[in-house]
Structure 1
Amino acid sequence: MATLDDTDIRLIAALRRDGRASISDLAARLKIARATVRSRIERLMASGEIAGFSVLTKADVTAAPVRGLTLICIEGRGTERVIAQLQGMPAVQAIHSTNGRWDLIIELATDTLQELDDTLVRIRKFDGITSSETNLILSSRRPSTRR
């Protein structure tokens, strides 16, 4: 498997956000040429890095029973690069920037604990991540709406 560069990671992240985006829209969003987008998508598909395109329904997103919050500390100025890598991961539901000890809080959702563990191992290998802490979400409650 070839190593993905920053442009590949950003392209995959953009396709995860909107798999129906046109080549022109992707090129404008990523500030690269349409020919570059087209050739990279073709290369990523040929290499198997992009295995296909699908539709996610609301049920697909909320069905993952294993959920967690991962707090990440990033060294130096690598936050945008780490965010781009995280956006390309299917388990990542949301990315929050914060202040204090942690730079980012990541909401994760997977089908199994093993998938969550595999995701955490991958995240911890990102360049620039100096420390992390993960907490499983056991239950969630929404506050009642006051009128």
Structure 2
Amino acid sequence: MDRIDQQLIAILRQDGRRAIADLAADIGASRATVRNHLNRLEDRGVIRGYTVQLNTDFDDYPVRAVMMIEIKGKPCPKIVKQLMGVPQVLAVHSTNGRWDYIVELGADNLSEFDDTIQAIRLFESVSLTETSLQLTTYKQVR
């Protein structure tokens, strides 16, 4: 990747809907040059697509959190299956750090959120949890 490619990617990370003419003006190149670079980046798979970032106020789940979970004994597939059976669990990640799993949660309201974390804490192999509400999302890549 050359300097122009790097500049285009940096700008598009901030605003994936930026017009070709604006991109050209931002980096001091012609529209044809920008279009050629974008086509090449897309063809090579460097740019796989363009996306929309939604305001979290319009998210399906107004209450979002991450829950770190420590398991008694060895982590096992059973706990993952239990977690994935909870409708408010959006993702389950295994980790190599202090916690055995990090779980992303989404709920419609605080009452539902509270019920969810209480239910997970009652799972047989869960020994310790720490949960943090997500307040503001500054960057999210999906």
1:68, 1:106 → 2: CA distance?
Answer: 8
The CA deviation at 1:142 is 1.8
How far apart, in 2, do the equivalents of 1:103 and 1:93 lie?
Answer: 17
Distance in 2, Cα, partners of 1:93 & 1:143: 15
Mapped contact 2:75–2:100 kept (Cα < 8 A): no
Gaps in structure 2 of 5+ consecutive residues: 1-58
- Give the TM-score normalised by the residue count of structure 1: 0.53
Moved over 4 A (4+): none
Corresponding position of 2:133: 136
Which of the residues 75, 96, 99 maps onto 1:99? Answer: 96
Counterparts of 1:96-135 in structure 2, within 5 Å, are: 96-135=93-132
CA spacing shift, 1:143–1:111, aligned 2, 3 Å: closer
How many angstroms apart in 1 are the aligned matches of 2:120 and 2:82? Answer: 9
Q: Rg larger in 1 or in 2? A: 2
**Identity %, equivalent residues:** 43
SS in 2 for 1:116: helix
Aligned equivalent of 2:87: 90
User: Which of 56, 62, 65 is the matching residue for 1:65?
Assistant: 62
Change (3 A) 1:143 1:134: closer
Q: What is the alpha-carbon root mean square deviation over aligned residues?
A: 1.6
Superposed CA offset, 1:74-95 (max 9, x none): 0113431111001111100000
Letter in 2 for 1:121: Q
Count of residues in Structure 1 that have an aligned counterpart in Structure 2: 83
TM normalised by structure 2 equals 0.55
Q: Please give the secondary structure, in 1, of the residue aligned with 2:138.
A: coil
